[in-house]
Amino acid sequence: MSESQIPLFQRLKQSAQDEWEAYTRHQFVRQLAIGSLPEASFRHYLAQDYLFLIDFARAYALGVYKADTLEDMRHSSAAVSAILDTEMALHVKFCEGWGLSPQDLESTPEAPANLAYTRFVLEAGTAGDALDLHTALSPCVVGYAEIARQIMADPETILEGNPYRPWIEEYAGEAYQSVAQDACDHLDKLGQERLTDARYPKLARTFRLATRLEAGFWDMGLTCAT
């Protein structure tokens, strides 16, 4: 199979293999899988993820503006609606189960790792086009699905009695896996329309940096408890 026949997400992932492994097999993820992650780390992650979702909605709103077709506008608009109308409410409810009230979430200052990642995604989309934006978004959207699948398939994973089991099963579930596949398909569609050989190295750099920043998000969760 030639490079042009490889789905764009897979091609980008192959070009960032070291960064991808560091992100998807991070110690934060490993500790989630066996239930040994300090609760303070998870609470910190949850609060930051709430703030992250707000900026992710902004990024998809930018995707509406950057889209060339109604179909692509609807794709990004649906993501904005899903985040603001569904995912945010579910996240708040989940956080309440961990002792974090809506007021706690609203008053949480953004951590530097969160700022670095969300501003990078927004800048990639603002300075570039829809392909640049969705390339920067993809490590998060697709990465969480892969992480959850890996956890579920790993014989060392401990689900029984694991306080993080609901988080794992949410991202391993059919609904989220479908979201991730849709993101891959959309990125591939944009690539077929916009990608050139000369442009690929810049996209690969964007993907690698976004993946490093995702790993930095996990680092943030671990270091808050030390």
Query: Which of 19, 95, 184, 214 is labelled catalytic?
Result: 214
Active-site residue 214, yes or no? Answer: yes
For each of the domains in the chain, give its residue range(s) and CATH number, in order of start.
16-223 (1.20.910.10)
Our answer to whether residue 140 is catalytic in this structure is: yes
From the list 140, 156, 169, 224, the catalytic residue is 140
Percent of the chain with pLDDT over 90: 95
Say whether pLDDT at 5 is over 90. no
The answer, yes or no, to whether residue 194 has pLDDT greater than 70, is: yes
Q: Could you report the per-residue pLDDT of 75-123, keeping only the tens digit for each?
A: 999 999 999 999 999 999 999 999 999 999 999 999 999 999 999 999 9
Q: Is the pLDDT of residue 1 over 60?
A: no
User: 162-172 pLDDT, tens per residue?
Assistant: 999 999 999 99
Q: 27 vs 1, which has greater pLDDT?
A: 27
Q: DSSP string covering the chain, please? A: --GGGS-HHHHHHHHTHHHHHHHHT-HHHHHHHHT-S-HHHHHHHHHHHHHHHHHHHHHHHHHHHH-SSHHHHHHHHHHHHIIIIIIHHHHHHHHHTTT--HHHHHHPPPPHHHHHHHHHHHHHHHHS-HHHHHHHHHHHHHHHHHHHHHHHH-TT---TT-TTHHHHHHHHSHHHHHHHHHHHHHHHHHHHHH--TTTHHHHHHHHHHHHHHHHHHHHHHHHTT-
